[in-house]
């Protein structure tokens, strides 16, 4: 697999789950990974794992619902590195469990600000450096819920449908500059997302049948090491057995 030494990768939601796995994977390929999330303590743990494996990373404790903080992050990356080769928009929330007419406005706003507005703001902050370099990869982590109905999860589903549309449109805008934009849409992933946890033997068996964070990380690694003349625009990732 292509070595990423010298490249700067920015991963949102890097404190746990898919984001942590993606960060570890990109660092193992030689990239300097900027770890972005609100939880500095958990980011420190991911940074420790990267350092112990001989990789390089930087922590950026950022509230992705804050346009000002994301804009400041973009300036920081330009000042410190003057490049951004890889952006993985992974951070997301899923406030699921109520029909749309019972969903509080604050839940709707939080979902869209995290799942759709934040990727827009991150792209706005970092894509100019990719355009200048005539190269780069943007990968948005969506969901199969962005392609299918999700009763009692309409806000989450709508945010991911929107993220898919954003991805396809930005891909057409940026391909002329050599910047490739892709979306990964996984099914059920074995993470703490949504507040679920495996408590008993049956729950543990179901968790083992789910997609693992490392599975998503391997897809990211494949996307950012493609030959330059082509790109994969979308990956649908399903568990081999239904959980």
- The answer to whether the Cα torsion of 213, 232, 143, 116 is positive or negative is positive
- The dihedrals phi and psi of 181, each to the nearest 5 degrees, come to -125, 125
Q: Confidence band (pLDDT; 50, 70, 90) for 172?
A: very high
Judge contact between 115 and 166, C-beta under 8 A.
no
Judge contact between 66 and 96, C-beta under 8 A.
no
What does the pLDDT average to over 28-56? 97
- Please tell me the predicted confidence (pLDDT) of residue 193: 61
Q: Name residues whose C-beta falls within 8 Å of residue 137's C-beta, 6 or more positions apart in sequence.
A: 85, 86, 87, 179, 180, 181, 182, 223, 224
Answer yes or no: is pLDDT of 205 > 90.
no
Q: What is the share, in percent, of the chain residues with pLDDT greater than 70?
A: 95
Active site residue 120: no
Question: In whole angstroms, how far apart are CA 228 and each of 133, 134, 139, 215?
Answer: 14, 11, 16, 23
The helix or strand, by DSSP H or E, that contains position 136, with its residue range, turns out to be: strand 136-141
Burial class (CB within 10 angstroms; exposed 0-12, middle 13-18, buried 19+) of 152: middle
- Please tell me the predicted confidence (pLDDT) of residue 191: 79
Alpha helices in the chain (DSSP H): 17-28, 40-52, 67-80, 105-112, 118-133, 154-174, 201-209, 213-224
- Please tell me the predicted confidence (pLDDT) of residue 190: 86
pTM for the whole structure: 0.94
Q: Name residues whose C-beta falls within 8 Å of residue 11's C-beta, 6 or more positions apart in sequence.
A: 19, 22, 23, 26, 33, 34, 35, 36, 88, 90
Closest CA to 34 of 8, 66, 1, 63: 8
Answer yes or no: is pLDDT of 112 > 50.
yes
The structural domains of the chain, ordered by start, are: 8-237 (3.40.50.720)
Answer yes or no: is pLDDT of 200 > 80.
no
Answer yes or no: is pLDDT of 198 > 60.
no
- Please tell me the predicted confidence (pLDDT) of residue 1: 55
What does the pLDDT average to over 126-136? 98
* The pair of three-digit structure tokens given for residue 160, joined into one six-digit string: 């991911």
* The pair of three-digit structure tokens given for residue 21, joined into one six-digit string: 């796995």
Answer yes or no: is pLDDT of 195 > 50.
no
- Please tell me the predicted confidence (pLDDT) of residue 206: 76
- The answer to whether the Cα torsion of 28, 122, 129, 138 is positive or negative is positive
Answer yes or no: is pLDDT of 159 > 70.
yes
């Amino acid at each position: 697999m292509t070595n990423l030494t010298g490249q700067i990768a920015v991963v949102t939601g890097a404190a746990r789950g898919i984001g942590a796995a993606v960060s570890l994977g990109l660092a193992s390929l030689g990239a300097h990974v900027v770890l972005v999330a609100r939880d500095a303590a958990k980011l420190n743990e991911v940074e420790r794992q990267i350092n112990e494996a001989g990789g390089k990373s930087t922590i950026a404790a950022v509230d992705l619902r804050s346009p000002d903080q994301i804009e400041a992050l973009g300036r920081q990356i330009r000042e410190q590195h003057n490049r951004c080769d890889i952006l993985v928009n992974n951070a997301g929330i899923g406030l699921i469990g109520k029909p749309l007419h019972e969903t509080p406005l604050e839940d709707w706003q939080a979902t869209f600000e995290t799942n759709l507005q934040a990727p827009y703001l991150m792209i706005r902050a970092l894509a100019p450096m990719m355009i200048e370099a005539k190269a780069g990869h943007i990968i948005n982590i969506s969901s199969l819920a962005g392609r299918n109905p999700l009763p009692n999860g309409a806000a989450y589903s709508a945010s991911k449908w929107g993220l898919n549309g954003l991805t396809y449109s930005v891909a057409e805008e940026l391909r002329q500059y050599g910047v490739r934009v892709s979306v990964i849409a996984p099914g059920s992933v074995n993470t703490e997302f949504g507040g679920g946890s495996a408590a008993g033997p049956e729950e543990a068996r179901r968790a083992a049948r789910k997609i693992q964070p490392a599975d998503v990380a391997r897809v990211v690694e494949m996307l950012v090491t493609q030959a330059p003349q082509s790109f994969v625009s979308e990956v649908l990732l399903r568990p081999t057995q239904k959980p």
